[in-house]
Amino acid sequence: MENELKQVERDALSICEAAFIPWEALRGRRILVTGATGLIGHTLIYALAAANLRKGLGLTILALVRDEARARQRFESLEGKEALEFVCGTVEELPRIDGPVHYIVHGASQTSSKMFVERPVETIITALRGTENLLELAREKKTEGFVYLSSMEVYGFPEKGRKVTEDDIGALSPLDMRNSYPISKVQCESLCCAYAREYGVPAKVLRLTQTFGPGVNYVDQRIFAQIGRCVMEKRDIVLRTRGETERSYLYTADAATAILAVLLLGQPGSAYNAADESTYCSIADMARRIAEKNGIRVRFELADEKALGYPKTLYMDLDTGRLRGLGWAPGGGSAMSLEDMYENMMFSWKEHGVFHG
């Protein structure tokens, strides 16, 4: 039976085995997930549905979606669909939600670097108005837990060679439109902490590094998807920059367990870094590793990075000690390699028939 499951479903079962997550705290609860059809929201909902079914939690998962038909297609293979309810609307114009909402995971956000530059107003408004609406809902419903999914980009440009802790927020110019994304994330984090301090909303912040795995759209423009497509199509990996940015990565299932750990165990008004520190490397090194394993080459065709919406060179070596202090660890202590993360992402593309080569 398990061999017939899709990769996202196998990952959901592994998440259910995470001993550091106090699953009983979710019994009989209603949990709202925004950004539900996005990569991380999708993974989290599969995990919650699997836990609900196998542990008999009596959960209700409320998924905020813009397009219900698309959402139903996205979750077509979800086992335990009876726990999932769709709420149609946007975070900017949040629809009325009747009944209790015990937990909120707020992951709705613009994710395209190109859009940060081309539509900075919408990037900022979605972040600020959406987060305010969700925090007001949490306040009204007296939620038991709230997690805002932020980004490593709030740290600006740390110095090469040093670990980045949650206290190391960097300077970002508001005159650079690419910063519409990280600056709005900083503002939303501040709003979460303000609601925690002033109104007692149990809001916490999770700062995620770049995350990928099953569920990534085949045409996603982020670097991990571009590299994966090159492997699938057996063509050279072409880098438009020198690939000097260094950072850690995170597998989607580990992002889901990090969310649940912070949601249920985190301290209100606090922030937590989430990354698999063992994956730290430059983009160029990652490309070379994946290329070497799959018998293709890496080529450099340098372009105007600013016009493409790419951030400047980063050295983002996140320290995850605070999150590990909650009991969390990538893979439950058996973290997978970057190569395995790519393998699972590409395998999921084949499973869903988006690639037939």
The DSSP-derived string for 235-282 is --EEESS----EEEEEEHHHHHHHHHHHHHHSPTT-EEEE-EEEEEEE
Q: Is the pLDDT of residue 356 over 50?
A: no
- On whether residue 157 sits in a domain, the answer given is yes
> What does the pLDDT read at residue 285?
97
Q: Percent of the chain at pLDDT above 90?
A: 80
Give pLDDT tens digits for 66-75: 999 999 999 9
Please provide the average confidence, as pLDDT, over all residues in the chain: 92
Nearest to 135 by CA among 200, 209, 70, 222: 200
CA pair distance 304, 294, nearest whole angstrom? 29
Q: Provide mean pLDDT across the span 200-221.
A: 95
Count of domains forming the chain? 1
Write down the pLDDT at residue 357. 46
Which residues in 55-144 belong to E strands, given as ranges?
A: 60-65, 84-88, 103-106
Burial of 273 (0-12, 13-18, 19+ CB in 10 A): buried
Query: How much is the pLDDT for 309?
Result: 56
Is-contact 29 60, C-beta < 8 A? yes
Predicted structure pTM score? 0.94
Of the pLDDT bands very low, low, confident and very high (cuts 50, 70, 90), residue 4 is low
| Residue 228 scores a pLDDT above 60 | yes
In terms of residue numbers, what domain contains 11? Answer: 2-217+249-280+316-334
Q: Per-residue confidence at 316, pLDDT binned at 50, 70, 90?
A: very high
- Whether the pLDDT of residue 254 is over 80: the answer is yes
**pLDDT classification of 311: cutoffs 50, 70, 90:** low
Residue 294 lies in a domain: no
Band of the pLDDT at 175, cuts 50, 70, 90?
confident
Res. 261 pLDDT band, cuts 50 70 90: very high
Cα–Cα dist 299/235, whole Å: 10
Per residue in 155-166, pLDDT (tens digit) is 999 999 999 999
pLDDT band at 111 (very low <50, low <70, confident <90, very high): confident
In this structure, what DSSP letter does residue 214 have? T
Beta bridge partners of 30: 60
What are the E-state strand segments in 17-58?
A: 30-34
How many H helices and E strands in the chain?
11, 14
Q: What is the pLDDT of residues 268-288, one digit of tens each?
A: 999 999 999 999 999 999 999
- Structure confidence at residue 19 (pLDDT): 94
Q: Is residue 308 part of a domain?
A: no
* Domain assignment of residue 288, yes or no: no
Supply the pLDDT for residue 308: 57
SS3 (DSSP) at 170: coil
Residue 85: inside a domain:
yes
In the prediction, which pLDDT does 240 show?
Answer: 87
Segment 308-320 mean pLDDT? 83
First to last CA, the chain: 27
Q: Which of 225, 300, 259 is nearest to 36 (CA)?
A: 259
Residue 38 sits at the vertex; the CA angle it makes with 81 and 171, to the nearest 5 degrees, is 145
Distance CA 75, CA 132 (A): 28
Q: What is the pLDDT of residue 306?
A: 60
Which strand (E) or helix (H) includes residue 318? strand 315-318
Which CATH number do you get for residue 202?
A: 3.40.50.720
Mean pLDDT along residues 138-143: 98
